[in-house]
Amino acid sequence: MNPTQLSSVFVAAVASLSACAGTVDAPTTADPADPSPSDGNGSGASGADFDAAPGQARVIPVHYEAQSNGYWCGPFSTKMALSGRITPPSETTLATQLGTTTAGTNWIGQVTGVLNDNLKAPWYVTREMPSDPPTQAQKDQLWLDLVRAVDNGFPMVANIVAPPNNHPPGYPAHTIYHYITVNGYNPTTRQAYISDPADFGGNTQYWLSFDQLSTLIPPKGYTALAACTREAVGGKIGEKFDALGGCTSLVGAPITEERRSPDGVGRFSVFEHGSIYWTPALGAHEVHGRIRDAWRDAGWELGQLGYPISDEYADGDGRRSDFQHGYIHWSAATNTTTIGQ
């Protein structure tokens, strides 16, 4: 067994170089778990649902688990990433889907495929970082991918190579080949938040400088959020999305699958710049920008205004959207919104 192909995990396993990322056969994909649509808490509820203001640290909650053997860092990192979006399958099921053996999980692209299979749409793409050390362009892309993925509620998985002179906290004095979940960032301190299944020295979840993370990934890769997952929306919401211009529309790329509204009447999908809401009686309508912010503050569809009954349209000195029980007007002159009945 070639140590340069291996990924050590538990301290007890390091001496024998138990593997996490060895050379394996192509994976056999089992039936993915069924991620039932979330009830959510309004049409603006994304996968992240952050309270943090722009410029503050953001971390996607995941269900942390330390890996149970010396070669399942791939399945456990994948499980933690999925837990940020759905109730994930077991690590045993994921190991089967990934094609993981005692030689580990061979390639980050296998993780990408299994994430997408379980999330029922091609949300993730594989991003290779072959240059070691990474180029500035690769580092810039990694930061952009990290921020966009976390902002939209999608934990990333990274395949890393950590030599003794470049270790995350607690790693033993060996070159470690490993998979980790990256589920947060701090723009002020320029750090990434790591959920590490290895649990080296009790370091389960920790902040790591972005510069160090960027040097750990080459020559491997990571899972990035796809530019636009059109397949994630269907039905009347999908038709409305296409009518607005699809991936180039004012609402932008999807960031959730279609979900039930809390009262069970409507359905919605969240996009990077807005939401599309549908009910059988009212049809599908988009809400975005400052008007969407005001609707959120008023309680979404469960608040005083109810469901949207129009798209945003020009009105006087600004824009307006109509709802079941009133309207919201935005003034371009004052950049303020007004709720009317």
| Each residue's pLDDT tens digit, 187-198 | 999 999 999 999
CA distances from 147 to 55, 240, 246 (A): 11, 28, 23
- Strand 313-315's sheet: what is its strand order? 313-315, 318-323, 326-331, 336-340
| All structural domains of the chain with their residue ranges | 3-23+34-225, 230-340
What is the mean pLDDT of the segment spanning 309-336? 97
Q: Is the pLDDT of residue 38 over 80?
A: no
Q: Is the pLDDT of residue 39 over 50?
A: no
Residue-wise pLDDT tens digits, 120-161? 999 999 999 999 999 999 999 999 999 999 999 999 999 999
47 or 233: whose pLDDT is higher?
233
CA dihedral 19, 70, 219, 27 (to 10 degrees): 70
Whole-model pTM? 0.85
CA dihedral 3, 5, 9, 14 (to 10 degrees): 0
pLDDT for 49: 52
Distance CA 105, CA 102 (A): 9
Yes or no: say if 71 and 100 are a contact pair by the CB < 8 Å rule.
yes
153: left (phi over 0), alpha (psi -120 to 50) or beta: left
> What amino acid is encoded at 279 in this protein?
T
- Mean pLDDT over all residues of the chain? 87
CATH 3.90.70.10 assigned to 3-23+34-225: yes
What is the mean pLDDT of the segment spanning 321-333? 97
Radius of gyration of the chain (CA): 22
pLDDT for 204: 97
Reported in sequence order, the residue ranges of the chain that DSSP labels E, i.e. its strands, are 58-59, 124-128, 156-162, 176-186, 191-195, 205-209, 221-225, 259-260, 267-271, 274-279, 283-288, 313-315, 318-323, 326-331, 336-340
Distance CA 311, CA 264 (A): 22
Q: Is the pLDDT of residue 35 over 70?
A: no
pLDDT for 216: 98
182 or 41: whose pLDDT is higher?
182
pLDDT for 222: 98
What is the mean pLDDT of the segment spanning 301-321? 97
